[in-house]
Chains A and B, each alone.
Chain A
């Protein structure tokens, strides 16, 4: 029943956004044909933001409902669009106190640095301090980082670049094997296809 409600609400949201998209595109067309380029530009930007949000919601719908025993906090699902320096941001958490967390940022400024790190073995070796290593998740290269919380807990983060987007997957108080298993449940190939 709960999934049915989620599906219906997603359909309604998409329908509302589609309506805004149609309005924005109509404004863009009218403004462009009347030579009002600045207004046409603004309307196209609005349309792009709406597309970003629709894409984000589709990505959210692909994310697993559970991470081990942790259930997704669907009410906290978040998609944000930001035309300009950074693209859209997609965010979901699982479990109490956000034990597992994924954020996908389009046009992330960190992508270049991470790609250099992942594709330069010498640099990867030099910058490695024993708390990070390069791994592969479903064929995609990524960086696994371990951080000590000081109370005997270890948090792990996996960062995977997908084209110009950055997937950051974090799990609290866990092991590297566990986070890798969970990361493998993310449908990365389908997400990459939507975000390309």
Chain B
């Protein structure tokens, strides 16, 4: 009896699927007919536009973007102006606007801190030149926890990317690593140790190696900041340590307000 019920259900589902498929086919045919009719009327326009965009069209006919100068750089929020706006809104009892202005002021201050940190980074590291086009400071309006500063150094096939971030989640992750001896002994195949603890200028650090990513060195700073060096095509672990040692970690820590 149960088997009969199941079979009936299965048959019903099959019929439903078939009906849906045939409906879809019917709709597709209708759509094609409408498209043909429309394209017949506007064939001249289409042929002209196709000629103009031949180099920038995909096989499906939709154009791809080949022009555009990107977004213009806007100045960071004017902190003094935003603070004045916040005071005005607060006095008028418009707290939602006051909050928004304070957020903007916070973002302005964070971007300035980020720029200061960027400027304090060395111009060359182990012979690698700073690529000033790739300096980045990113701040979200969520307060302190989302400031990210990045700088890239290059020479021939070597590249060093330094990222300074302020996010409690990173630091928590690294602390877990330091406080758990189980992780510190992780070996890839029992012979080569690909993750280990080390120190950079008396700061606890973790260094990892991966054939495809090269060396990565992480140093947590204070309560919620972290510096990460990603080194591509560096010959030895010592080269990475030498590069990291040329950064003023104490200065960065101070600028980020970490203790």
Residues of A within 8 A of B (CB): 18, 21-22, 25, 28-29, 32-33, 37-38, 40-42, 44-45, 47-48, 51-52, 54-55, 58, 83-85, 107, 193-196
**Which residues of chain B are within 8 angstroms of A83 by Cβ–Cβ distance?**
143-144
Q: A51 is contacted by which of B95, B110, B144 (Cβ under 8 Å)?
A: B95
B232 interface contact, C-beta 8 A: no
Tell me whether A25 and B86 are in contact in the complex, defined as CB-CB below 8 angstroms, given that A37-B109, A44-B102 are known contacts: yes
A33 to B79, CA, bound (A): 10
Which chain B residues numbered 133 to 188 have a C-beta less than 8 Å away from chain A?
A: 142-145, 168
Q: In the complex, A174 Cα to B140 Cα: how many Å? A: 42
Q: Which of B105, B116, B168 has the most A CB atoms < 10 Å from its CB?
A: B105
Q: Report yes or no: A29 in contact with B83, Cβ–Cβ below 8 A.
A: yes
Instruction: List CB contacts (< 8 Å) of B101-148 with chain A.
Output: 102-103, 105-106, 109-110, 112-113, 116, 142-145
Closest to B257 in A: A38
The majority secondary structure among interface residues of chain A is: helix
Contacts of A37 in B (CB 8 A): 109, 112-113, 116, 255
Q: Which residues of B contact A (CB under 8 A)?
A: 79-80, 83, 86-87, 90, 95-96, 98-99, 102-103, 105-106, 109-110, 112-113, 116, 142-145, 168, 255-257
Q: Could you tell me the distance in whole angstroms from the C-beta of A62 to the nearest C-beta in chain B?
A: 13
What are 20 A-B interface contacts by the 8 Å CB criterion?
A: A21-B90, A25-B87, A28-B83, A32-B80, A32-B83, A37-B109, A37-B113, A38-B113, A44-B102, A44-B109, A45-B106, A47-B86, A47-B102, A48-B103, A55-B95, A55-B99, A58-B95, A84-B142, A84-B144, A193-B96
B197 to chain A, nearest CB (A): 28
Q: Which residues on the B side are within 8 Å of A51 (C-beta)? A: 90, 95, 98-99, 102
Please pick, from B83, B109, B256, the residue contacting A25 in the complex, using a CB distance under 8 A: B83
Given A21-B90, A29-B80, 20 more pairs with CB closer than 8 A: A25-B87, A28-B83, A29-B83, A32-B83, A38-B255, A41-B110, A41-B144, A41-B257, A45-B143, A45-B144, A47-B86, A48-B99, A48-B143, A51-B90, A54-B95, A83-B143, A85-B142, A85-B168, A193-B96, A194-B95
B83 pairs with A41, CB closer than 8 A: no
Separation of A117 and B73 alpha carbons in the complex (Å): 37
Given known A-B contacts A25-B87, A48-B103, A41 and B96 have beta carbons under 8 A apart: no
Contacts A29-B80, A29-B83 given; does A84 touch B109 at CB 8 Å: no
Tell me if B257 and A28 are in contact (CB < 8 A): no
Report B-chain residues with C-beta under 8 Å of the C-beta of A84.
Answer: 142-145, 168
Residues of A within 8 A of B113 (CB): 37-38, 41
Evaluate contact between B79 and A32: CB separation under 8 angstroms.
yes
B253: min CB distance to chain A, Å: 11
Please, how many angstroms separate the alpha-carbon atoms of A33 and B109 in the complex?
Answer: 11
Complexed CA–CA distance, A85 and B113 (Å):
20
Contacts of A54 in B (CB 8 A): 95
A15 smallest CB distance to B (angstroms): 12
Chain A residues near B106: list those with CB within 8 A.
41, 44-45, 48
What residues on A are CB-neighbors of B145 within 8 Å?
84-85
Contacts of A28 in B (CB 8 A): 83, 105
**Cα distance A22–B86 in the bound complex, in angstroms:** 10
CA distance A83 to B140 in the complex (A): 13
A196 — which chain B residues lie within 8 A by C-beta?
96
In the complex with contacts A21-B90, A84-B143, A84-B144, A48-B102 CB distance below 8 A: yes
Compute how far the CA of A44 lies from the CA of B103 in the bound complex, rounded to whole angstroms.
8
5 smallest CB-CB distances across A and B, nearest first, come from A38-B257, A83-B143, A48-B102, A51-B99, A41-B109
In the bound complex, what is the Cα–Cα distance between A45 and B99 (angstroms)? 10
Q: How far is the CB of A122 from chain B (nearest CB, A)?
A: 15
A42 CB contacts on chain B under 8 angstroms = 257
A18 to B144, CA, bound (A): 23
Q: A97 to B145, alpha carbons, bound, how many Å? A: 37
Question: B99 to A18, Cβ gap below 8 A?
Answer: no
Residues of B within 8 Å of A45, CB to CB, are 106, 143-144
Contacts of B256 in A (CB 8 A): 38
Q: Provide the bound-state CA to CA distance between A58 and B256, in Å.
A: 34
